Structure 1
Amino acid sequence: MAENHEGNFSKVVKVVQELLLDEDDRSGVTPSLIEEKIDLVLAMNRKWADALDREAVVDELIRRFSMWIGEDTTLKSDTDHVAWLNAERKKDWRYWQRYREWLERKLAYTAVDALDHTTDRILGLLEDPAREGPWSRRGLVVGHVQSGKTSNYTALIGKAADAGYKIVIVLAGMHNNLRSQTQMRLDEGFLGYETKPVPDDIKTIGVGEIDADPAIRPNYATNRSDKGDFNAATARTLGISPEQRPWLFVVKKNKSVLERLYRWIRNHVANSHDAETGRKLVTHLPLLLVDDEADHASVDTGEQFFDENGKPDEDHQPTAINSLIRKILHSFSRSAYVGYTATPFANIFIHERGATEEEGPDLFPAAFIVNLAAPSNYIGPVKVFGRQMPEGRVGGLPLIRIVDDQCSPDGARGWMPVSHKSTHVPSHEGAANMPLSLVEAIDAFLLACAVRHLRGQGREHSSMLVHVTRFNIVQKHVHEQVATHLAGIRQRLKRRIGHEAVLERLRLYWELDFAPTMEQVIDAQSDEKPPVQPGWVDVERVLADVTADIEVRMINGTAKDALDYADQSGAGLKVIAIGGDKLARGLTLEGLCVSYFLRASKMYDTLMQMGRWFGYRPGYLDLCRLYTTSELESWFEHITDAAEELREEFELMANSGGTPRDYGLRVQSHSVLMVTSRLKMRSAKNLMLSFSGQLLETVTFHTSDRHLQANLQAAKSLLAGLGAPEVDPERVWNGTKTKWRGYLWRGARAADVLDFLGGYATHPDAHKVNAPLIAEFVRVMMAAGELTDWSVALIGAPESQDRNVHELGQGVPLGMLVRKGQTAPGSYSIGRLMSPRDESIDVSEEVWTAALALTREMRARDAGDKPDAPVPDVPSGVALRRIRGLGAPGLAGDPQRGLLLLYLIDPQKSEAGLPPGAPPLVGFGISFPGSTAGRKVEYKVNNVLWEQEYGGAD
C-alpha cells in the first residue's frame, strides 16, 4: 500500500508540474496556484487522492520551481572532429525520451532540461557513430561530489544508443557493491528491466514502465547480483553480431575482469585486422566507454619517458588497469571514451602525447573537458565550508562539530589514534567505550530521523556515516561498540525503564545545540520554503519508534550493502554505516544526515571524494551534521578555496577559447595542487610550478624574535630605497570611491623585490609561499622579459578600526591589522592576510572595468537564469590578474609589472602569544599578472616529508 501512496504522489507531482509549465509567468507559481492544479488533477482521477499528502506535493513543487541551474562550460579541440548532432538526428530517439519522462516524475523541469542540454553537448563532442573510417575521441566530464553524475551518464548512454553506438561499457569502480549499484541504476534508467543471473520472467522497472517495447530492449552482459560482473561463463557463451539493439556491460576496474573482456572482444567480436600491425580490430560496432570515477585506478601512474622532441617511449609499460582500458579502446576502429569525475586533477597530469603501440594513446581528455554546473539546491564545499576572507571564513553553514576526544593531543593514543594499525582495539578512558563526540553524533542522527518522520519524510532513507579507519578488523570493533550503544538506547526507550537519563541527554542536546542550529540553517537558506519545525514534545513522542527502526551495518564491499536501499519498500531504511575505503568513492549513502569522519588523508582528490556529505538534502539540510577534527576542517577549507580558484580559471579559459591542453598545463603548475597523489603526478620528488596569474599570501608566520626582527628589517630596507610614495591611495571606479590607509610606490625595480624576498624568512609550514622559490620564479620570468617592473603597497588597517600604529621608517606610520588565528610551537596561522580589493590598488580604471566585465560574464554562467542572482560590483582576483597581464580587446596587457603588498599584524591584539614589546608580524602578498610565457621553477619535495604531510598515495 505504501508503494501505491508513493506512486500516487509521483504521478500527481508530475501532472501538476506539466500544468504549471503551461503558465506564462512561472515566477508566479504560488502554493495557492499549486492547490488549484492539484484539485484539477484529482478531479480527473479520484484514485490518486488515496492517502495523498497534499502538503508534501505543494512543498515538492515549490522546491522544483524555485530551483535554478547555471551554465556548463567547455574546453574543446575540434581536431579530426566532424560536427553531426542536430534536431533531425534526435527526431525518433526513444531511449532518451523514456528516460526523460521517467526523470520528470522526480526532478524539476529545469533539471531535466539542463540534463538534456548538457548530454546533447557531450554527445555532439563525440563522433557520429555512423561516420565511416577510423576515429577516436577522449573526453572528461567534471561534476561535483555526489551531484548526480550517474544520471548524466545514464542520459548520455541512452542518447548514444539512440544515435547508433552498439557496445556500451561502463567502468564502475573497484568494488562489487559499487558495480552492483551502478548496474541497478542503469537497469532502471537505460535497460528498463531487472538484470538477473538466470533470465526468467522479465521484471519491468524504471524506464521500462514507460516504453517496454521488446524491439528496443537493450541486451545485457552483466547483471545486478554480487557476482554479476563479466565472468568466464558469460565470455564462453556470449557472441555479438551486428544488430539493431545495443549491448551494455557494467564492469569493475579489476585486472582479471578487464583481461577477460579484452580477450572476448578480440576472439568473439573482432572482424578485421590492422593493416600495419596485424592487431585484431572491431570495425562494424562503434564503442562508447564510460569511465566512472575516472581519476581512480584508470590513470597510468608509471614513470614514462619522452625524448627531446616530446616523443613518448613506445616500450613503456603502463599500469595494468590503464593498459587494459586503452587496449579495449584500441581494439575498436571507432571508439569514444568519456571519463566522469569530481576530482579531475590526476587526469590532467596524464601526458597528452603518451602512447604505446599496443595500447594506443593514453587517456588524456584531448577532445574536451566539460565542467558541469551545479543546481542551486546542491550542497557543495562552498556552502558547507564558506569562503576565506580577511575577517575569517564567510558564508559556511553551521553544520560542523569539532571532534577532539578521539585521541591524545600528540595523536598517538586514545580511541582512534591518527596512525593506528590493524591490531588496534578502540577504547576510551580505559574501556571499550566510544568517545563522547561519537555518542553526540549518534544522538544527532536519532533526532534527525525523528524530525524527518514528523515532516512526513519517514518513507525516505536516512543514513549516518562513521568513517574512522581503513582497517576492516578495526571497523568491526567500532561496529560492535555502536551497535551495543544503540541497543541500550533502544531497550531503554522501548521498555520505559532507565530511559530518563537518555531522554534528558537528548533533550538538553536538542535545546542547546540541535534546534538552534536548525533555525540558523533555515534562516541561511532563505530562498527555500522552510520545513516543519517540531517541538521537543513531538520529537520525544516518536523517538522510541524511530530508534527501533535504525540498523547498524558494516560496509565491507558485498553487493547486499548496495541492494538494501533498493529492496527497502514502505518505510525508508535508517542505517548507521560503519566503513572505510569502500565508502570513500562512488557509493551513495541515501539520505545522509550525520557524518563522523576522522580519516586523516590530506590529498586533494582523496579528501574531496570522501566528502560523502556533499549532495542534495531537500527538506532536511538543517538536520545534517559533520563531526570531524579541526585539522581536517582546515584541509577541507583549503581545498575548497583551491577548487573554486581552479573553476574560475576554467571559466576564463573557456571564455577565451582554450583547449584541454591549455588547462592541463595550468593545473600541472598550480602551487596548491601539490595536494594530490604524487604517484598520479608521475613525480616522486619534484614539481614544476608556475605562479603566473596567481595570488600568493603569507598565512603562517614564525613567532621567534629572531625571525620577526629579520622580516621587519627586510620590509624597512625595501621601503627605504623606494623614494616618495602615494599616501592613502584613492580610486574612483564605476562612480564609487575606494580608499586605502597606506602607501603605494610605483616603478620599483625587480632587484628591490628580490632583495626583500632574500631577507624574508617564510615559515617551512607555508608550502605555497616559499620566499626562495618565489624569488627564483621572478628571475626566470625576468629572463623572459616579464616581472621587471613592480608596484609595492604598504596597507594598514582602516581608521574606523581600533588600531595600534607602528613606525616603519621616517614618515611611514602604519595602523597594524588584527588577524585572528591559531598558535602552534614556533608558528602563528591565520585564514587570510589580504582584503580582495587590495589587488586593484595600482590598476587603471580601464583594467578594473575590463576585469569587472569578465567577472560578471563568468558569474552569469554560474547563476544561470536565476532572476535575483546578485551582480558582482567588484572584479574577482582571478579576472583582475588575467586582465593585468594579458589585456582585453582594445586594452594591452602588462606582464612586466608585478604587485607586492606588505602588511603589519599587531603582535598583541592578534593573540599570537607574543611577549610585550615584540615586533609586529610582517606579512606579504604577491599578485602575479597572467602570462603566456609558460616559464616554471622546480619545487623539490623530500619523499619522507611528503609521506608525513600528505599520506601515501591511494
Structure 2
Amino acid sequence: MRDKIARLFTEHYAFGLRHNTEEGAKSWAIRQVIEKLNCTEEEVLESIERDESKTFTLDKKNDYEVKAINRNYLTIFNDYINNLLDSNEVMFEDVEDIKKSTLDLGSKINISDELEKFSIKGLVLGDIQSGKTTNFMALTSLAFDLGYKRVIILTGLLEDLRVQTLNRAKSALGHPDEKVQDNYGGWMHFLSKGINFPTKNGDIKKDTFHNNQANEIQLKNIWIIKKTAANLKKINDYFENVRSVFGNEGNDKPINFKTLIIDDEADQASLESSGTKTDKSVVSKTYEQITKLATVFPKCCYIGYTASPFANLLTDKDRTSHNINLYPDDFITVLNPGKYYTGYQKFLEISENSKYSMIPLKTEEIENLNSFFKDRKAKLSDNEVFKKAFQRFIISGSILKLRELNEEVRINKVKTMMINIHHVNKNQDEIVKVIKELIKYYSDNINNANIEKEFETIFYKEYSEINEYSWIRVWEEIKNIFLYEKVKIVIKNSSNGFADENNAEFQVWVGGYKLSRGMTVPCLLTSIFYRNTKMADTLMQMCRWFGYRTEYIDLCKIFTSEIILDMFFRVFSSFENLKNDLREMNERDLTPEQIQIKIEKFSNGMKPSSLNKIKGAIEVNKVSFSGRNFISTYFKDDHTNEYNLEKTKNFINQNNVYVKNKYFKIYENISYNSISGFLSELKLPEVSNKNLSHIKEKMDKIKLNKEYFEKWKVVISTNIKDNNGTINLREFNINLSSKSVFSENIKFDEKLNLQTFRLKSILTTSLENFEKKSFEDSKNDKFFKSTEKAKIRTMKDGPVLFIIFSKIISKNDEEKVFLKIAPTIAMIIPKNEDPEFQEKYDNPFYINQSSGEII
C-alpha cells in the first residue's frame, strides 16, 4: 500500500508542480491521494518520508514549447529599431544591444497561437534611468510580430508617469502627432500596423467597454493604465465583459488572444504587501487585481520591469491569489545599460577622484533641516546648502550652454536642479520660497561686483579642471540666464497637477514622491538629496542623477549626507553582486527556481524592502561560496548514459566506503584531482559542460586553501526499496531512484544530433543540510528517521559530491522508460576558510525561504 501511495503521490505532485508552488503542489497531491485511495493523511506523509526517490524533483514548467523566432516576419519590431537608429538619441551599439536582448527575451515568450493556454512569469532587471522603457517598448513591438494581440502596460501610481509612458509608446510605434492634421502619410503607415490605444485620452473608465467597439477589440491594442486597485478592477471588469459578450470558445475570441502584461516598476504596489504575516489567504488589493488580470486570459505572459528587485525576489511565494503568485518562476533577465550610461560605477569613480562632485552636507546644514522638519523652529532660508547648490547649478548650466553653442554636445532643451528632501507638500512649499528668493536676489543684483566675485571664486576653486572657457565667457552666460528670466521653478507633487516644465531652459524641480521613482529628470546637473529611509529599494529609486549624462557628468553636483552616501554605495554594491549572480544563472541555463538567490544584508539596520513585501525572506548568517550546483541536463542516448554509468562506477569503486546504511553510501577524503578528473570524463550536453566549467572555475579559486579543499565527501543515495531496480557497486547494491521527465523538457541538440532531457535538480533538505555528526548517527539507523529539518550545516566540512543513480521515465499520456539508468550529479561547495574569501563572501544575507526553500 505504501508503494502505491508513494507512486500516486509522485504522479500528482509532478503534475501540480506545473501549475503551482512546491508547497501548493504537495498539498494538492496529498488531497488527491487521500480521495482516490481512501487513506489517511498520516499514511501519505509516512509513505512520502520513506520514499527517497524525490532527491530530484521535476522541472516546474508550463505545458508549452517556445518556437524559434522567424526574423523575416518582424515588421513592427524592425520599424521600431530603425526609428531608434534614425532618432540619433541612442548610440548605434546600444541599439544593437537592445535588439539582441529583446530578441533573446522574445524567444522566451514565443508560444504557438494554436496552444489553448499558457502562463509565463518573468522579471527584467535594469539600472536606474538606464532605458528600461525603451527596452519594454522594443518588447511590445516584437510581441505584436510574435502574434500577441494585446499588450497591457501597468505604470506607476501617478498620472504623470502614465502620460509619460503613453507618449513614449505612441512615439515608439510611429503614432503621428495628433496636432499635425496633414500628416497623411504618417497616419497611413501607423494605421497599417493596426494598433489601437484605448487609453490614449485618459486612464481606463467604467464606460470603456461601450466606447471600445467590436472592431477595435479585434485590433492590436496597447492599454496603458495606472497601477491602482480601482483601475485594475475596471480593466478586469472590462475583459469579463469581453468574455461574456464574445464568448471564450476558440482562438478567434478576443479573450483568447495572446496577451502580454508589462508591469513597469514591478516592485511598487504590485507585490503582496498585506499587514498580516500568518493568514496567507489575506492579500493586498492591488496584488489581488494583478493576479486576477494575469489569469483572465488563458494565454498570458506577465513580465515585471524594475531597477530595485529585492522585494520581487523575496516575496512570499505561498501568498497566492487566483492560484498564482507573481514570483518570476520562468526567467530573470538582466539588461545591460548603454555604453554611455552613468550609474553607480561612474559615480563611485567620481567620488574617489573629485571632492567637488559628491558634496557632503555640513553638520549645521543637517541640523537645520532636521529642526525645520521636526518643529519648524529653524528657517530654511538660513541654510546655506540651497544657495551653494543653486550657485553651482547656474555655473554648470552656463558651461554646458557654451558647449551646446559650440556644437560640442547635443542641445539639452532643459537643464535641471532637483531638490528632494521631504515628502510633505507644505514643507516643499517652504523650499520653493527659498529658491524664489534666490532667483529674485540674483536677478535683481546680477550686475553687482560682489555677486560676480561669489561665482568667480567657486568657478576657480571647483571647476579648475574644466578649462574649456574663460571666466569672462562663463560670466556672460550666467548674466544672460538672469537677465532673460531663464530660470523657473517646477513643483512636482500631488497638489499642483501637471506642471509645464518646458517653458524655461533652467528649471529647479522641487518634490518628494514624484521625484523618488520613475520620473525621468532631464539633464540633471545639481541635486540636493536628504531623505531618511531604511529600505534599500527606496534609496535606489531616489537616485535620479543616474542616466545618460556623459556629456556633462563633470558638471554634476550632489549634495547629501555622509551617512546617505555610505548607504548608497553599500546598496548598489550589493545590487551589482546580485546582477552578476543572475547573469551567471542565465549563462548556466538555469531558472530562478533552480538556484538560491542571495541578497546581501546591509548595515545601519537597512532592509532590502518593506517588511510587508518580503514575507518570504529569511536572514542567513553563513554563506557558501558557490552553494548548490547542479548538472541538470543529460543526453537521452542510451550509449552515452552507459558510458557515463561505467565511468561513475569506476570512480566509485576506486574508493572505500566511510559510512553505509539503507539511505546512503558515503565516502570521505576524496582528492580534488580525483573529483575534477571524474567530472571531466563525463559526456554531457553543451549547456551542462558550460555549467560544469563555471563550477570548476569556482572550485579552482577556492582551492587557494589546498588542505581544506582536498577533503571531499562523495554521497551515493540509495532508495529504501528496490522497486526501480538495483545497480552493483563492488561490495553492495544501490537501489535506483526514479526520475520523471515531461516531453516538453526533452530537447534536441542540433550540434551533436542527439536528444537531451532536463531535470529540476533540487536536493532535498535532508541531503543538503547534513554534517559529520549526522553521518555518525546514521550508523545506528537514526539518520533521517524524523522529518524534522535539523539545523545542521555542511559549512564546517569540505565540499560534497552527490551521485544519484536513476531510472528515467518519460511522462506524457502514458509511462515509457526510455533510459535504463542515468547517473545524475549535484554538489555543495561550502565557504572557504581563506580570510580573503571570508571577507568577500562570509557575510549575512537574505534568501527566499517560502515554498519550503532552505539553503
Give the SS at the match of 1:414: helix
Number of aligned positions between the proteins: 605
**Structure 2: how far apart are the matches of 1:370 and 1:490?**
50
The superposition leaves residues 636-682 of structure 1 with CA deviations (integer Å, 9 ceiling, x where unpaired) of 1111221122222223322333211245x323686778432222112
Q: 1:620 aligns with which of 525, 545, 552?
A: 552
The superposition leaves residues 559-596 of structure 1 with CA deviations (integer Å, 9 ceiling, x where unpaired) of 9647634xx6xxx7321000101111100011111111
> How far is the alpha carbon of 1:444 from its aligned partner?
0.9
Amino acid paired to 2:459: W
Q: Does the 8 Å contact 2:315/2:616 carry over to 1?
A: no
> How far is the alpha carbon of 1:322 from its aligned partner?
0.9
**Structure 2: how far apart are the matches of 1:642 and 1:579?**
28
Q: 1:579 aligns with which of 511, 514, 533?
A: 511
Q: Does the 8 Å contact 2:490/2:501 carry over to 1?
A: no
Tell me: CA distance 1:782–1:366, structure 2 relative to 1, closer, same or farther (3 Å): closer
Q: 2:539 aligns with which of 594, 602, 607?
A: 607
> How far is the alpha carbon of 1:283 from its aligned partner?
3.8
Q: Does the 8 Å contact 1:426/1:477 carry over to 2?
A: no
Q: Does the 8 Å contact 1:326/1:361 carry over to 2?
A: yes
Equivalent residue number for residue 554 of structure 1 = 491
Q: Are positions 1:335 and 2:291 aligned together?
A: no
Amino acid paired to 1:667: K
Q: Does the 8 Å contact 2:120/2:330 carry over to 1?
A: yes
Amino acid paired to 1:477: E
Amino acid paired to 2:381: N
How does 1:7-86 map onto structure 2 within 5 Å?
Answer: 79-86=62-69
**Structure 2: how far apart are the matches of 1:152 and 1:193?**
21
How does 1:243-258 map onto structure 2 within 5 Å?
Answer: 245-258=219-232
Q: 2:345 aligns with which of 370, 376, 382?
A: 382
> How far is the alpha carbon of 1:450 from its aligned partner?
0.6
The superposition leaves residues 895-938 of structure 1 with CA deviations (integer Å, 9 ceiling, x where unpaired) of 467415399xxxxxxxxxxxxxxxxxxxx84855999x9999x9
**Structure 1: how far apart are the matches of 2:432 and 2:491?**
7
Amino acid paired to 2:95: V
> How far is the alpha carbon of 1:240 from its aligned partner?
4.0
Q: Does the 8 Å contact 2:67/2:112 carry over to 1?
A: no
**Structure 2: how far apart are the matches of 1:646 and 1:78?**
24
**Structure 2: how far apart are the matches of 1:445 and 1:126?**
46
Equivalent residue number for residue 681 of structure 1 = 614
**Structure 2: how far apart are the matches of 1:926 and 1:580?**
36
How does 1:275-674 map onto structure 2 within 5 Å?
Answer: 283-302=255-274, 316-352=281-317, 354-356=319-321, 359-386=322-349, 399-405=357-363, 407=365, 413-417=367-371, 420-421=373-374, 425=376, 427-428=378-379, 433-456=381-404, 459-493=412-446, 496=447, 499-516=448-465, 518=466, 533-547=468-482, 548-557=485-494, 561=498, 564-565=501-502, 573-663=505-595, 665-667=596-598, 674=607
Q: Does the 8 Å contact 1:464/1:592 carry over to 2?
A: yes
Of structures 1 and 2, the one with the larger relative CO (CA 8 A, separation 6+) is 2
**Structure 1: how far apart are the matches of 2:456 and 2:843?**
56
> How far is the alpha carbon of 1:132 from its aligned partner?
2.5
Equivalent residue number for residue 633 of structure 2 = none
**Structure 2: how far apart are the matches of 1:427 and 1:896?**
55
Equivalent residue number for residue 93 of structure 1 = 75
Q: Does the 8 Å contact 2:418/2:509 carry over to 1?
A: yes
Tell me: CA distance 1:558–1:260, structure 2 relative to 1, closer, same or farther (3 Å): farther
Equivalent residue number for residue 754 of structure 1 = none
Amino acid paired to 2:492: I
How does 1:191-206 map onto structure 2 within 5 Å?
Answer: 192-194=175-177
The superposition leaves residues 14-70 of structure 1 with CA deviations (integer Å, 9 ceiling, x where unpaired) of xxxxxxxxxxxxxxxxxxxxxxxxxxxxxxxxxxxxxxxxxxxxxxxxxxxxxxxxx
Tell me: CA distance 1:376–1:112, structure 2 relative to 1, closer, same or farther (3 Å): closer
Q: 2:127 aligns with which of 144, 147, 155?
A: 144
Q: Are positions 1:901 and 2:835 aligned together?
A: yes
Tell me: CA distance 1:785–1:575, structure 2 relative to 1, closer, same or farther (3 Å): closer
Q: Does the 8 Å contact 1:669/1:688 carry over to 2?
A: no
Equivalent residue number for residue 116 of structure 2 = 133
**Structure 2: how far apart are the matches of 1:204 and 1:689?**
63
Q: Does the 8 Å contact 1:129/1:286 carry over to 2?
A: no
Amino acid paired to 1:473: K
Give the SS at the match of 1:378: coil
Amino acid paired to 2:83: E
**Structure 1: how far apart are the matches of 2:848 and 2:267?**
26
Q: Does the 8 Å contact 2:419/2:527 carry over to 1?
A: yes
Equivalent residue number for residue 783 of structure 1 = 792
Equivalent residue number for residue 219 of structure 1 = 196
Q: Does the 8 Å contact 1:193/1:202 carry over to 2?
A: no
Tell me: CA distance 1:690–1:631, structure 2 relative to 1, closer, same or farther (3 Å): same
> How far is the alpha carbon of 1:438 from its aligned partner?
2.0
The superposition leaves residues 78-119 of structure 1 with CA deviations (integer Å, 9 ceiling, x where unpaired) of 65342224235x425135414533443212221111111111
Q: Does the 8 Å contact 1:191/1:218 carry over to 2?
A: no
Equivalent residue number for residue 15 of structure 1 = none
Tell me: CA distance 1:131–1:623, structure 2 relative to 1, closer, same or farther (3 Å): farther
Amino acid paired to 2:478: L
Gaps (5+ residues) in structure 1? 1-75, 276-280, 307-312, 388-392, 520-532, 696-742, 751-775, 791-890, 904-923, 939-954
The superposition leaves residues 859-898 of structure 1 with CA deviations (integer Å, 9 ceiling, x where unpaired) of xxxxxxxxxxxxxxxxxxxxxxxxxxxxxxxx99784674
Gaps (5+ residues) in structure 2? 1-58, 405-409, 628-703, 712-769, 774-788, 800-824
**Structure 2: how far apart are the matches of 1:361 and 1:142?**
21
> How far is the alpha carbon of 1:541 from its aligned partner?
0.9
Q: Does the 8 Å contact 2:176/2:190 carry over to 1?
A: no
> How far is the alpha carbon of 1:490 from its aligned partner?
1.6
Tell me: CA distance 1:662–1:487, structure 2 relative to 1, closer, same or farther (3 Å): farther
Amino acid paired to 2:118: W
> How far is the alpha carbon of 1:693 from its aligned partner?
2.2
> How far is the alpha carbon of 1:355 from its aligned partner?
2.9
**Structure 1: how far apart are the matches of 2:163 and 2:546?**
22
TM-score, normalised via structure 2 length: 0.64
**Structure 2: how far apart are the matches of 1:377 and 1:778?**
52
Q: Does the 8 Å contact 1:142/1:342 carry over to 2?
A: yes
**Structure 2: how far apart are the matches of 1:331 and 1:163?**
20
**Structure 2: how far apart are the matches of 1:176 and 1:896?**
49
> How far is the alpha carbon of 1:138 from its aligned partner?
1.0
Give the SS at the match of 1:361: coil
Q: Does the 8 Å contact 1:555/1:577 carry over to 2?
A: yes
Q: Does the 8 Å contact 1:368/1:660 carry over to 2?
A: yes
**Structure 2: how far apart are the matches of 1:325 and 1:934?**
22
Amino acid paired to 1:403: L
Give the SS at the match of 1:783: coil
**Structure 1: how far apart are the matches of 2:257 and 2:524?**
41
Equivalent residue number for residue 153 of structure 1 = 136
Equivalent residue number for residue 691 of structure 1 = 623
Amino acid paired to 1:299: L
Equivalent residue number for residue 165 of structure 2 = 182
